[in-house]
Amino acid sequence: MTMRKQAMTQAVDGCFIFFGDVRFDSRLQNMLRSLSKKYSQLLLLQTSEHDETFTFERCQVQSFAVSATLRGMAKFMSFYRALVPAAFGVRAKFFCAEDIFSLPIAYWMARRKKARLYYDSRELFFALAQLTKKPYKQRFWASVEAYCIRRAKVFTSGTRDSEALAARYRIKLPEVIFNYPRFHAYRRSDALRRQLNLAENAIILLYQGVITQGRGIWKLLNMLTWLESRFVAVFIGEGDELPALRRTIEARNYHTRAFAIGRVPHEELLRLTASADIGFALIEPISESYKLALPNKLFEYIMASVPVVASDLPAMKEVIERHGTGITVSADEDEKRLAERVAEMTEALEKYRSQCRKAREQLNWEAQEERLLAFF
């Protein structure tokens, strides 16, 4: 029996739909681990590089190949052609859309099956940074969200996101499930130094996440001009800006100073994170979604005891100032001045690491698991 036929004959407690791969998504991993304590049969329909099935906790995962070369509407149509038939025959008590792109499928399946509908608005999809210069596409997805959202039980990853959704759509204030990582007392390691053959005295400046516009990628790379040669930039992740980033590293002959190592499975990620010296979250306010951003990388750095340099946008600034885990800088900070502040910060790294170790006792997934279980 083929994977797609199997997907059309299943009865489960809950069905999640995701335009992504759970192996690279800490938020969904944490949710499935927690909900597996409450539900014995969960199903995840997702995209991946290959058609495959595997089990994650008590959740059966069915992956449908979507070519990495596809872009725009062609990519979404490939996603829908694969997942709609699979979702059509699933009998579930609830369907959960893990992003705006999955929401139409989850909406229609929940309506057809008379099931509950959940919507994980993990960012403000009506104001996506990637669509800032594509107003027609942005309006399309905003209209999809407006049509579906009132039927759903909505949850977000930040208080300000919940307030923005409630105000825009006049819905009940969505529940907040933060992007906290699972607790682990990570110790500093030399994983990146060994992997990249770096000197022991190298200062590793780390960015992890999507390599795309508005994430401060270029600011971090350009900052190396004003820093000593022992400062090294490491980028972990994939995205549309990755090829250009690698070309620029090559063109500048930064073979020993900058490394773009691609995407890493999440179970390996924080082991690498813990070997960095400073983590960067230089989000640029190019959209409302980014202005209110509270990215999981911020909490992952803290969990790994890596001091943070972040933009002084309200949600991130509040966390960093409350817990003393790093510094915030203006989103339009001059790169030379930013380099000076980073150099100054290295004189107090142990102080910031100590604050991170204290903060992770609160900023962890286990601290909010009961809230998730009650919501579902």
Q: Are 150 and 169 in contact (CB under 8 A)?
A: yes
Instruction: Say if CB 283 and CB 310 are below 8 A apart.
Output: yes
Residue 266's pLDDT is: 85
Q: What dihedral do alpha carbons 51, 54, 60, 66 form, nearest 10°?
A: -20
Give the whole-angstrom CA distance, residue 302 versus residue 329: 17
Query: Residue 73 above 80 pLDDT?
Result: no
Q: In degrees rounded to 5, what are phi and psi of residue 166?
A: -60, -40
| Residue 280 DSSP SS3 | strand
pLDDT digits (tens, 9 = 90+) for 8-56: 468 999 999 999 999 999 999 999 999 999 999 999 999 988 899 999 9
Express each pLDDT in 151-193 by its tens digit: 999 999 999 999 999 999 999 999 999 999 999 999 999 999 9
pLDDT level of residue 231 (50, 70, 90 thresholds): very high
* pLDDT greater than 80 at residue 90: yes
* pLDDT of the residue at 9: 61
Q: Is 80 exceeded by the pLDDT of residue 1?
A: no
Distance CA(279)–CA(281), nearest Å, equals 7
pLDDT tens readout for residues 294-330: 999 999 999 999 999 999 999 999 999 999 999 999 9
Strand order across the 308-311 sheet:
258-260, 231-236, 203-208, 278-281, 308-311, 326-329
Token look-up 């750095």 returns 301
Cα–Cα distance between 165 and 125 in angstroms, integer?
Answer: 10
- The pLDDT of residue 43: 97
Residue showing tokens 């549309």: 240
**pLDDT value at residue 70:** 67
Which residue ranges form the domains of the chain, and what is each CATH number? 3-179+367-375 (3.40.50.2000), 191-359 (3.40.50.2000)
281 DSSP β-pair partners: 310
pTM summary value: 0.90
**Would you say residue 2 has pLDDT above 60?**
no
Angstrom CA distances, 280 to 204, 301, 329, stand at 11, 9, 11
Indicate the burial class of 53 (C-beta count within 10 angstroms; 0-12, 13-18, 19 or more).
exposed
CB 1 within 8 A of CB 153: no
- Separation CA 31–CA 191 (nearest Å): 28
Minimal CA–CA distance to 338: which of 255, 233, 211, 213?
233
Helix axes 349-359, 296-303, angle to 10 degrees: 110
